[in-house]
Amino acid sequence: MAEPLYRLPSRSEIISLAADEGHDADIPTNQGSILPTTLRSHSQSHNHGHDPTKHSTGIFDKDIEKGGTRPESLSSQEDNEDVHVEGRGEENDANVVWWDGPDDPENPLNWGYKKKWGTVILVAAITFLTPLASSSFAPGVPKVMETFHSQDDMLEGFMLSVYVLGFAFGPLLIAPLSEMFGRLWLYHACNLLFIVCTIVAAVSSSMGMFIAFRFLMGCFGGAPLVLGGGTIADLISREQRGTAMVVWMMGPTMGPCVGPIIGGFLIAAKGWRWNFWLIAILGGAFMLMSMVLMRETYAPVILARKTQRLRKSTGNSKLVSKLDSGLSPRDLFLFSIVRPAKMLTQSTICFAISFYVAVTYSYLYILFTTFTAVFTGQYGWHGGIVGLSFLGIGVGCLIGQLVFTHFSNVTVAKHLARGDFRPEHRLYMMTIGGFFLPVGLFWYGWGVQTQVHYMVPIVGTGVMGFGLMMTFMPANTYLVDVFTVHAASAMAAATVLRSLCAAFIPLSSQKMYAAMGYGWGNSMLGFVAIFLIPIPFLFIKYGEGIRARSTVKL
């Protein structure tokens, strides 16, 4: 049963929903938006045909690091006198277009059980496929190098990590487009372009052509990562949303680790090009299913279309959707492009946490780009069996995700019950994960160097995977809690830096191992990870003070 649709949403509910949808809370969700008074004035002027650029300067004046200082501020209007919950409308205003009662079938929250969960499962499948494609051909990298007659170690790593570079840039454009035109057509368009680029990569005749279309695969393949959380938030009530989000998050978590296992056997049997043909076939099947089964779920777009129909049928040009904020495409672009860049360069918290995650995430792709060479050269593995070398890190990531979900909820619930919760409490799990990462690196590196039984380094990669999840997931939740209204921009900043590091840092991994060996090479990475361990401890102790003194403006 959906929540009553006419109850006024709280500030915390709008922020939570906006974070799930992947945008800032001053962009409309299906419960409204939180707008600074300056932006509200701009919105009203825009609706009356005035020039929005004359009112836009005030939009970026609010301090963005102080919003999450106290948890009660998420729902307290007294703490945010310059903030207005927009999009409610007056229920007796005949010109405000809203749902036709709490059981309106057009509202995605009121769809049938099969329709809602069928959409969730389909979105989760698409979200699993695109991260899987990022690493599934890793066991075939030597064969690709042989096909294109290349011996460049840097290209050997870049052909794999360039896909993640696409993840950095594609979503920055996909996000604002989805706010303007809805999610459905972006699913279809990006699925189609992803399939086309995958097919072109499969038939590539040169290294340059292959790398270019791998990059484009990443750009378009990032769409479900941007849109999936919002689709789930559109469809599933708050009480059930956690389950759906866990199912959806399995894709980006497990896809890159499962991909090489599948790709290893397929490449051994059919060659590296067939890895891309399989991705294209699966992508085509999911696209056909989505075109038949999926419908638009984004409430502001559904109501905007309803408003247009009513304007046409009634002749009343004053009708306006209850969720229409009047934001121009220019403002949506600024929110998606300018805000993340400013937060990354001006916010100490955002940069430090993003940097920590970016470095540790790059370690994952160092492993992806070198596993095949390591286990082929050190242990004599060949054929499809090479893909099994990725099993340890996959299991470690899965365990890390489950452990974090359980203990993080317990920790937060305890502090909420005491009434002393701070965003920094999210980092307790990160302090633990920080120690597992260097331990895993030392374990894996020296296990390979001394050529002990292959299970020793594989277990070491499992320890690394556990440490990665225990740093990656607390960092994300911390950014959401700190930046509240602007959480999506903070997440976008972290995603860009993470993707850039994952694309470029692994390029030197082969030369590093050649010069230092696997033992000292991974030990150096471990020492860097040890150097980063104090970051969450420092923020636990000083984070609240840093936020209190913050002067970061948008």
- Across-strand partners of 85? 34
Is residue 206 within 8 A of residue 148, CB to CB? The reply is: yes
Give the DSSP H or E segment for 320: strand 320-321
Would you state the pLDDT for residue 28? Answer: 72
Cβ neighbors of 461 (< 8 A, separation 6 or more) are 367, 392, 393, 396, 440, 444
Tell how strand 83-86 and strand 33-36 pair up: antiparallel
Is residue 282 within 8 A of residue 56, CB to CB? The reply is: no
Q: List the structure tokens of 163.
A: 């896909």
| DSSP codes, 144-201 | HHHHTT---HHHHHHHHHHHHHHHHHHHHHHHHHHHHH-SHHHHHHHHHHHHHHHHHH
Is residue 147 within 8 A of residue 272, CB to CB? The reply is: yes
- Across-strand partners of 63? 553
Would you state the pLDDT for residue 348? Answer: 87
Q: How many helices (H) and strands (E) does the chain have?
A: 19, 4
Q: Which of 135, 129, 208 is nearest to 366 (CA)?
A: 135
| DSSP codes, 252-306 | HHHHHHHHHHHHHHHHHHH-HHHHHHHHHHHHHHHHHHHHHH-----HHHHHHHH
Tens digit of each residue's pLDDT (9 = 90 or more) over 153-180:
888 888 888 998 998 888 888 888 887 7
Domains of the chain (ranges, CATH numbers): 11-92 (no CATH), 95-295 (1.20.1250.20), 338-554 (1.20.1250.20)
Let me know the angle formed at the C-alpha of 9 by 480 and 249, rounded to the nearest 5 degrees. Answer: 40
User: What SS3 class is residue 101?
Assistant: coil
User: What SS3 class is residue 54?
Assistant: helix
Give the DSSP H or E segment for 85: strand 83-86
Would you state the pLDDT for residue 50? Answer: 42
Tens digit of each residue's pLDDT (9 = 90 or more) over 99-150:
888 888 999 989 999 999 999 999 999 999 998 998 898 888 889 999 999 8
Cβ neighbors of 531 (< 8 A, separation 6 or more) are none
Would you state the pLDDT for residue 71? Answer: 37
Would you state the pLDDT for residue 306? Answer: 92
Q: Is 456 exposed, middle or buried (0-12, 13-18, 19+ CB in 10 A)?
A: middle
Amino acid at site 176: P
Cβ neighbors of 160 (< 8 A, separation 6 or more) are 134, 135, 137, 138, 141, 365, 368, 369, 506
Q: List the structure tokens of 413.
A: 């619930």
Would you state the pLDDT for residue 443? Answer: 96
Q: List the structure tokens of 251.
A: 């894709």
Cβ neighbors of 405 (< 8 A, separation 6 or more) are 246, 473
Which residue positions in the chain have pLDDT lower than 70? Answer: 1-9, 35-92, 239, 325, 551-554
